[in-house]
Structure 1
């Protein structure tokens, strides 16, 4: 019944959309004709008959393009029994844009944020409470619009100003300087900030989700639309933006360069990975740092992999410097068939997350950033408002010396109040000396940056607290496997110079060494990869003698495949004190350029460790 008149084709994309539905809202698209209106009305009437529900036509409306005359629109209104609307305004909280985008397009968002973050609320909250409210406001009021549109710069700047004024409890027209810069506040806590996000950074990180969807969800309706309308047969990163595209698509494409820095590849056979233009080995493509020889632009990674699944080092050295060829040769290639796959390299599971996108935009995934020496503040068992005071103190954010002295006096009285509550409600035993010691320990930690305080209800200094943890772990010891079983300990090591290594030890139920091994790895290898390599070499060693985070994905796949050769396998995590033999071998690996095996105990220090493990000797028994 006139079904051909329903649905519209978006541009030249070939994607035809008859309707969109979300919850109890439905939008029907059709050709502007009386036949379409009759069809739509018949569908709605049939729905009412079958469901027993009624449609509220007073809350329903239709909209026509500018090419439809007023007389025709009147006929449509009579058939549909709805009023004509010149603008559908917003849908699901986002504006339906049918004209040029201006600041007024998103003015409602700005007003919503301002109405929630009012000064009277700031007056009734501590700075800790203000921070929580800013975070929740950013997550609820602006997130949906930010992941749908790249907001205009003026709107983003206005949102930042609103968040900033609320945090510092200032009027919107206040001109006084802030005690701590907004840039410093909007960085992760471990680097000295409060973990808030600038509006622009948050907007771009949410827009990255759309780029990730284009790569990973080809069956998505929106992805099909933009692929047919814009990308066509081009790759996302090789596509060139044309002049007649929408403003949103143009801004989204401008984020590709930054987004690409977070992508990596699981190499597999390397047939689909460009050797020069994909960032498969480093965070950037090789062509950004090294000249591309003429005629080699189309080279794939598979060109440098031999038929036996190992790197062709001689071919690598023909195209890149020797040190880079060595780094590539140390990249682990799985022995089993592994699918070539593009992943997000800044998360353990290889799937994009907004948090990792924020860190990429802030630059914390691209360079070595020294953690803040005041990280111990957030580990204190004290009220959040006192933590925030200490954080401001560490950044010279206290306005006057007199106020600082007053705040310190308040903190001192808080310790007294804490001790008093312990006596009344928890039946703690306390004394003025103990309370005094608590305050002294607290003040000392203000003077010594970087020290970690165990808890404020303790008189233990940080040094003693660390010793307690060491004593507890010193009572851990190696435990033998059941009879007729072998136990494998493996570990990784990384020196201050960056060099990594691995080591492993295989022992029986009596603690006798059956096999041990170690080997050095490149400085680009992480400690996690070194440990995974240690596990892999254990399996290799067993096969030679006795005939899955994404970075270790290939190693784990190979390991799982090899573990299937054993009747039973058990894997446990142990502290280093119970893994001393494998730890010793891992350090030994720094002096072994290639993987080396021993069937006897190499040296005396290692023999002592083996005998202690066999006797169940905890480290706490060692002489001081």
Structure 2
């Protein structure tokens, strides 16, 4: 292996400045030394005073005094500890500037591609007008090696260096661009590679003007720019043609690996870590055709089911089935169409969800309604329904009414509903899209929801990944036994018959559940269990609150209906809010609030200020909590909250506010007594 690598990396010859090929060792050394001498030797600088004079001086005396102070041990330690292990320093670091197009929070290198794409599109579509435009793509020869250190030393005494790169097709505009490039080469030592630089003209630029500009600039003319930063510059209607090279590269990437000794567990890791990451760079800029995404998914599916020795195999399932989460019977692979949408969603941040892509669909324009505050009732902190329904489309009106409000005086903010931080991320966007697919799959008659516990128990086993995948294949009936081969009309030996009763065994659905009990509070503390019964089709929910003392006796209960609730998380948060209001009315001083919504409880126990949709409600809850001596928030599974759940079911049937003191409906009393018995008679 070492000898083979030596032979592959061995240089047999070099080409000198006169395009002569030399092979001798001494001649090759001479060519190499001369090349690097020319590369690293400082060039004869011209007068750079004019360029330096354009840079404004920004560093004050106080700033210099701070910069010239000697570094202490604490300064060094603080700087090192503030750096992430694999990242450069932040805004006060050594190499990141806010003017950069990448390495800044909220910016990506692909943003440059989008800008270039829009520029080329503008030039192509502008076919009228007296003034034309052109775009100039420059290539720097050895950009990181040809840097004049003397010029950098002078420029560092100033702050900010700006270069204007826009150009029009007038003779004056072209000469201005040419002079800027010459000054750039002169003072910085860089060299423009005219052989690789290109110019692209607008559609309204005449042929005579184009030829004149090419003669002045000395660059090549580009009529159909293909790629910039490895992405196509012009896509148009031929999207399949524009990305065909990527599909070929995708196949070659798989073919270039040796999978002879790769297990199914290794395949899973390779798909998720390597193959699924390849299209991300393209998908974050362009909306790919579904057929193209399905083509890539077909390549992945073939690789997953292929036999490592023959590279062939039976495709036991579609790629869409493999993209389901593991608890739903899939492998957790990515649906490329959905992931493409999640990536592109970072370019758009609509205020409200639903029709119109976030744009407000109004029935009529009215200048009297200009700010959101005008749609609120000051006294009750609720939406003005009649005004909203009069001005907006019905679906968007319901979306607006679903936005939770709180009377805590919190500031307005834009919120992403599907993530606890309130900030959009590709992960949360993809999860939201995939959840919709899962819900549609479940409602169409599939029973995968019934097997979540079984799949969870399989993937939680402490065994090698290939064995987990084999168990998954057995349960999904993805094995070549006699019946499956016959159904697929494959040739099988009739003497081979395998009992497939394993796949019909109902006993597999039996999963032992951990017995979780309701626990009474300590003496002197009242525990309030809260729950919400939510009807998504009407956005109507019932909040239920059940108060018990340290011996499990009922101290009080209430159920309260509310309309225009966005989702179950908001419903649970509102139920917690009602629990505190009920505790205030009952005069409780030390309380424990217990619910079965982990996300709500985590939010209440966190002091982080974020843009989560529950933030206004949680802030109001914190204000209410200030009226108590002691407030604790606890999470319990649904099994330990069944009494509050039963109360919510009762309130859902009544649909009116109901209150009880030291009593409750009969079915709730039975659930409470069951909790008491199980706790005080536990083993």
Global fold match (TM > 0.5): yes
**What is the CA-CA distance between 1:163 and the residue it aligns to?**
1.8
- Judging changes above 3 Å, is the alpha-carbon distance between structure 1 residues 17 and 527 closer, same or farther for their aligned structure 2 residues? farther
| 3-state SS of paired residue (1:364) | helix
What TM-score do you get using the length of structure 1 for normalisation? 0.57
1:226-283 C-alpha deviation (Å, 9 max, x unpaired): xxxxxxxxxxx9xxxxxxxxxxxxxxxxxxxxx836989xxxxxxx976999xxxxxx
Give, in whole Å, the separation in 1 of the partners of 2:356 and 2:475: 33
* 1:596 paired to 2:674: no
1:158 to 295, 313, 322: 295
| 3-state SS of paired residue (2:543) | strand
1:559 to 607, 610, 621: 621
**What is the CA-CA distance between 1:61 and the residue it aligns to?**
0.9
Task: Specify the alignment match of 1:436 in structure 2.
Answer: none
Q: How does 1:181-220 map to 2 (within 5 A)?
A: 181-210=318-347, 212-213=348-349, 215=350
Task: Specify the alignment match of 2:474 in structure 1.
Answer: 393
* 1:75 paired to 2:211: no
1:282-311 C-alpha deviation (Å, 9 max, x unpaired): xxxxxxxxxxxxxxxxxx998897964557
**What is the CA-CA distance between 1:159 and the residue it aligns to?**
1.9
Give, in whole Å, the separation in 2 of the partners of 1:91 and 1:21: 11
Task: Specify the alignment match of 1:377 in structure 2.
Answer: 458
**What is the CA-CA distance between 1:166 and the residue it aligns to?**
1.7
Task: Specify the alignment match of 2:151 in structure 1.
Answer: none
* 1:447 paired to 2:505: yes
Task: Specify the alignment match of 2:521 in structure 1.
Answer: 479
Task: Specify the alignment match of 1:571 in structure 2.
Answer: 633
- Judging changes above 3 Å, is the alpha-carbon distance between structure 1 residues 170 and 108 closer, same or farther for their aligned structure 2 residues? farther
| 3-state SS of paired residue (2:479) | coil
**What is the CA-CA distance between 1:578 and the residue it aligns to?**
7.4
- Judging changes above 3 Å, is the alpha-carbon distance between structure 1 residues 331 and 450 closer, same or farther for their aligned structure 2 residues? farther
Give, in whole Å, the separation in 1 of the partners of 2:290 and 2:343: 16
1:115-174 C-alpha deviation (Å, 9 max, x unpaired): 111185343322333233233345432112122123345543432332222222279x99
- Judging changes above 3 Å, is the alpha-carbon distance between structure 1 residues 445 and 380 closer, same or farther for their aligned structure 2 residues? farther
1:363 to 423, 437, 454: 437
* 1:260 paired to 2:301: no
Give, in whole Å, the separation in 2 of the partners of 1:119 and 1:402: 36
**What is the CA-CA distance between 1:44 and the residue it aligns to?**
4.5
What TM-score do you get using the length of structure 2 for normalisation? 0.53
Task: Specify the alignment match of 1:148 in structure 2.
Answer: 285
1:348-393 C-alpha deviation (Å, 9 max, x unpaired): 5555444544753763356754535252432332222222223333
2:230 to 43, 68, 93: 93
**What is the CA-CA distance between 1:445 and the residue it aligns to?**
9.9
Larger Rg: 2
Task: Specify the alignment match of 1:108 in structure 2.
Answer: 245
Unpaired segments of 5 or more residues in structure 1?
A: 217-236, 238-258, 265-271, 278-299, 320-324, 405-442, 453-461
| 3-state SS of paired residue (1:97) | coil
Contact 1:263 1:345 (C-alpha < 8 Å) held by counterparts? no
Q: How does 1:292-311 map to 2 (within 5 A)?
A: 308-309=380-381
**What is the CA-CA distance between 1:544 and the residue it aligns to?**
4.5
Task: Specify the alignment match of 2:167 in structure 1.
Answer: 30
**What is the CA-CA distance between 1:94 and the residue it aligns to?**
0.9
* 1:504 paired to 2:585: no
CA RMSD of aligned residues (A): 5.8
Q: Which deviates the most, 596-605 or 185-194?
A: 596-605
1:503-543 C-alpha deviation (Å, 9 max, x unpaired): 33557899997654334567988654443223211333355
Task: Specify the alignment match of 2:200 in structure 1.
Answer: 64
